[in-house]
Amino acid sequence: MNSPAAVNRPLRFSPATIFQNPRRIRIRSIRLPHQLDESSSCCTISTLTSSKRIESQHHGYKVRSSSHLLRKPRVSSDDAQPSVPFYESEVSEPSFLEFITSERVKVVAMVALALALCNADRVVMSVAVVPLSQSRGWSQSFAGVVQSSFLWGYLISPIAGGTLVDYYGGKVVMACGVALWSMATFLTPWAAENSLWALLSMRALLGVAEGVALPCMNNMIARWFPQTERSRAVGLAMAGFQLGSAIGLTLSPILMSQGGVGGPFIIFGLSGFLWVLVWVSATSSTPERSPQISKYELQYIQSKRKKSIKDETSQTKSTKIIPPFRRLLSKLPTWSLIIANSMHSWGFFVILSWMPIYFKTIYHVDLRQAAWFSAVPWSMMALVGYFAGVFSDNLIQSGMTITLTRKIMQSIGFIGPGFALIGLIMAKSPVVASAWLTLAVGLKSFSHCGFLVNFQEIAPQYSGVLHGMSNTAGTLAAIIGTVGAGFFVELVGSFQGFLLLTSFLYFSAALFWNIYSTGERVNFDEAN
């Protein structure tokens, strides 16, 4: 055995120290048989042959270094920081199977289920208002007032709800919102039996609670999905929203025939309470807080996002509880969102609230058939919405700017329904009318990849309150459209003129969006 004196320059660190903390060892302290590859993002100590050994008699260790034993970020001779994090260069794109089985898709599936309950709870009254009007002698204009009572509450809650989402996050606010609107839905039959004011109050409370749903959806998707996947995530979430319309419109007549007018309200209300239990116990507000997420998926999300989750979380926490409303309203991109949301809500609630009555009065079909003809388009919207999201993400991944992508999606989502409603006016049979309505609602889903994902892009720190502001404007437009349709029909005697007005408004909103919208970050911290 060689004596310690035989070693010219004994190493000052044991091999255990080298492997535990390799950044403490300067590259020049070990002579290697091969040069380091400085062109790669990570360097590897070259494989030594079996006869080459690094011997340290100071500690009596023998170390064999191979390429698979030690990998670390590239460092310079002066111990500089790694130039690229490990996950940014190593995490590959997930396959389709990995995507649909990932934890983030499970989260968006729960969000989609919440939105399905949200819409099912609100559309029950679109079916129930027919027997209620017959039993109580309501006119069509007063039936419109009853249906719009939901929007009274929805008018005041989105701004406050969006602010709470920015401050507390989507998980907590969504749980509270679903619990509150499920209670309002469950108590609606009781309120209808007691007094008209109690019924209107429960519907208004439903609107107050549901005002937080879409801001929460936007917040959860922004935290869980990188920008290149957000359109398809919104497509999945809004698919649940549209399926809620189809489920509510088709199941409500069946449940009412079995359990009376209050049957669907009770079933959907209890389903909401069950959802809250699962949501609270099985989901997390961010990927880094999730105990179920895999290390690969967490690294992938972090590597694909422009900012880390830590940055976005700290940015959200630093958001003031009172947003700068004046500065937000001073920018034209904000107004493009407000007008787009207003037109989207106008068309959505007019179709949602009046199409069962439209098919019953124009084509003289019974209630079950009217609900069926009205439900088919929403199922198509759910399907088309996902593929629209995939198409939008692919455009961005291919190099198209976010601004142009959002304008293309929104144009299809407004101009398409505008022309389809004109076709609906000219339809001579309920089947042809349902086909035109299906086309209108299906193309309408493209707008989800336009304005609905634009809040996080132009102002991530104010996305919740921006969504709330535009939702409030959209709710006001929906109230005018829903109530106005009833009065318009009573004055003119036909739905066709009102649908033609809606078509014209679609074209005007598309023009405003294409002129003033943007997909770039807007500085709302400085006034114009």
Cα–Cα distance for residue pair 427/373, rounded to 1 Å? 14
Give the pLDDT mean for 518-524. Answer: 88
Q: Of 244 and 366, which is predicted with more confidence?
A: 244
Q: Of 304 and 236, which is predicted with more confidence?
A: 236
Give the pLDDT mean for 282-304. Answer: 86
Nearest Cα residue to 385 out of 449, 298, 462, 328: 449
Give the pLDDT mean for 308-312. Answer: 41
Q: Taking each helix axis as running N to C, give the angle between helix 213-224 and helix 463-492, from 0 to 180 degrees, rounded to the nearest 10.
A: 140
pLDDT score for 401: 93
pLDDT score for 355: 75
Cα–Cα distance for residue pair 206/178, rounded to 1 Å? 10
Q: Of 100 and 501, which is predicted with more confidence?
A: 501
pLDDT score for 146: 81
Biggest distance spanned by C-alpha atoms of the chain: 109
Q: What percent of the chain has pLDDT over 90?
A: 22
Token pair, residue 188, equals: 């609606």
Choose from 57-66, 272-281, 283-292 the range with maximum mean pLDDT: 272-281
Give the pLDDT mean for 393-403. Answer: 90
Q: Is the pLDDT of residue 227 over 60?
A: yes
Answer whether 259's CB lies under 8 Å from 131's CB. Answer: no
Token pair, residue 406, equals: 């959002």
- Residue 152 Cα distances to 65, 157, 158, 206, angstroms: 71, 9, 12, 10
- Could you report the per-residue pLDDT of 67-110, keeping only the tens digit for each? 333 333 333 333 333 333 434 445 667 777 877 788 999 999 99
Nearest Cα residue to 413 out of 381, 454, 390, 458: 381
- Could you report the per-residue pLDDT of 265-279, keeping only the tens digit for each? 999 999 999 999 999
pLDDT score for 76: 33
- Could you report the per-residue pLDDT of 325-353, keeping only the tens digit for each? 888 888 999 999 999 999 998 988 788 77
Q: Of 456 and 501, which is predicted with more confidence?
A: 501
Answer whether 209's CB lies under 8 Å from 321's CB. Answer: no
- Residue 230 Cα distances to 129, 190, 202, 390, angstroms: 37, 41, 34, 9
Q: What is the pTM of this model?
A: 0.64
- Could you report the per-residue pLDDT of 195-218, keeping only the tens digit for each? 888 888 999 999 899 988 888 988
Q: Is the pLDDT of residue 47 over 80?
A: no
Answer whether 379's CB lies under 8 Å from 386's CB. Answer: no
pLDDT score for 43: 37
Token pair, residue 411, equals: 């144009």
Nearest Cα residue to 367 out of 206, 229, 249: 249
Give the pLDDT mean for 183-190. Answer: 92
Residue with the two structure tokens 């105990």: 291
Nearest Cα residue to 512 out of 335, 326, 331: 335
Cite the DSSP H helix spans in 58-169. Answer: 86-90, 96-100, 103-136, 140-168
Give the pLDDT mean for 502-520. Answer: 95
Q: For residue 71, which phi and psi values (nearest 5 degrees)?
A: -130, 130
Q: Of 100 and 55, which is predicted with more confidence?
A: 100
Q: Is the pLDDT of residue 448 over 70?
A: yes
Q: Taking each helix axis as running N to C, give the angle between helix 213-224 and helix 170-194, from 0 to 180 degrees, rounded to the nearest 10.
A: 160
Give the pLDDT mean for 467-471. Answer: 84
pLDDT score for 367: 60
Q: Of 473 and 161, which is predicted with more confidence?
A: 473
Sign (positive or negative) of CA dihedral 154, 160, 164, 165: positive
pLDDT score for 138: 78
Q: Is the pLDDT of residue 523 over 80?
A: yes
Q: Is the pLDDT of residue 66 over 60?
A: no
Q: Is the pLDDT of residue 170 over 50?
A: yes
Query: How does DSSP assign 305-330, residue by residue?
Result: SSS-HHHHHHHHHTS-SS--HHHHHT
Q: Taking each helix axis as running N to C, give the angle between helix 103-136 and helix 367-397, from 0 to 180 degrees, rounded to the nearest 10.
A: 150
pLDDT score for 306: 53
- Amino acid, single-letter form, for residue 71: R
- Average pLDDT over the chain reads 76
Nearest Cα residue to 84 out of 42, 25, 27: 42
Q: What percent of the chain has pLDDT over 70?
A: 77
Q: Is the pLDDT of residue 64 over 90?
A: no
Give the pLDDT mean for 425-431. Answer: 84
Cα–Cα distance for residue pair 338/513, rounded to 1 Å? 10
Choose from 111-115, 301-305, 387-391 the range with maximum mean pLDDT: 111-115
